[in-house]
């Protein structure tokens, strides 16, 4: 697919997906969602890429939300279909085995907050703003916000944000656990973090993601079984043998990703 609304760059083992509609504050319409999906699928299938970073262009917004002009004349069925498309794309981001980091500089509102929450974790600049303000437009979040927000910040805080539509700053997002860090040099920090993740045993990194994602959706006993199964599978990899041998020999491990 030829990309018009996103940019996809690859450097070393890291891919950077940039939502590139700065004049619209990177708002999400159908075409943009489809391009995000295609870009994520490309990263998923590229064996040379270990980590994906998602960010927004322009310095004002990560993603300011779904495109209101695009949604203005939708009927109930069209609204539902648009919501399902957003859910499908964000679920893809959430479920690919490779780690995905949201690098947020500016507004992450509505669909933008939902996109950020579909990533494994979030790092932001001090000028970032977060929220699910949809009730101010007389709609609910439609791209997973009502489900991921309480899983990340807890039910009570999520309901307050959802019911009021309040927008919070970076410090409050950090306080409630919506973001991991607030940093000055955002992309430098996130790239350094991505490189660190890419230097680890990649099968183990991906199994960690599967264990957390699958385990959080079930009871603790089933979750422990999931962890034990994946832990055992690690011992069938070349990287496990290299990692433990390097530790014993007091040298840096040279992982090959399998």
Concerning whether 134 is annotated as a catalytic residue, the answer is yes
Active-site residue identified among 97, 134, 227, 249:
134
Q: Give the torsion sign (CA, 151, 82, 96, 187).
A: negative
Cα 25 to Cα 33: distance, rounded to the nearest angstrom: 15
Per-position b or e across 202-227, b if 16+ CB within 10 A of its CB:
bbbbbbbbebeeebeeeeeeebeebb
Active-site residue identified among 35, 114, 172, 227:
114
Concerning whether 227 is annotated as a catalytic residue, the answer is no
**Residue 51: enclosing H or E segment and its boundaries?**
strand 51-56
DSSP state of 24: G
CB atoms within 10 A of CB 166: 15
- Show which residues are catalytic: 114, 134
């Amino acid at each position: 697919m030829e990309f018009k609304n996103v940019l996809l760059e690859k450097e070393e083992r890291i891919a950077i997906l940039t939502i590139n509609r700065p004049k619209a504050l990177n708002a999400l319409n159908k075409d943009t969602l489809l391009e995000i999906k295609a870009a994520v699928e490309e990263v998923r299938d590229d064996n040379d890429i270990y980590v994906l970073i998602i960010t927004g262009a322009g310095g004002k917004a990560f993603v300011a939300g779904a495109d209101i002009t695009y949604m203005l004349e939708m009927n109930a069925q069209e609204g539902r279909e648009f919501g399902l498309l957003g859910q499908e794309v964000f679920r893809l981001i959430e479920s690919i085995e490779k780690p995905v980091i949201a690098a947020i500089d500016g507004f992450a509102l509505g669909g933008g907050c939902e996109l950020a929450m579909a990533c494994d974790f979030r790092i932001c600049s001090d000028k970032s703003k977060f929220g699910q303000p949809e009730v101010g437009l007389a709609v609910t979040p439609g791209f997973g916000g009502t489900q991921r927000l309480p899983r990340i910040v807890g039910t009570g805080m999520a309901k307050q944000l959802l019911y009021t539509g309040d927008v919070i700053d970076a410090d409050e997002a950090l306080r409630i656990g919506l973001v991991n860090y607030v940093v000055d040099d955002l992309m430098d920090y996130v790239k350094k973090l991505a490189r660190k993740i890419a230097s680890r045993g990649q099968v183990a990194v991906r199994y960690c993601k599967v264990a957390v994602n699958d385990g959080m959706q079930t009871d603790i006993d089933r979750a422990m079984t999931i962890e034990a199964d994946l832990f055992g599978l690690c011992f069938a990899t070349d990287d496990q043998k290299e990692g433990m041998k390097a530790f014993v020999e007091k040298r840096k491990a040279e992982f090959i990703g399998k």
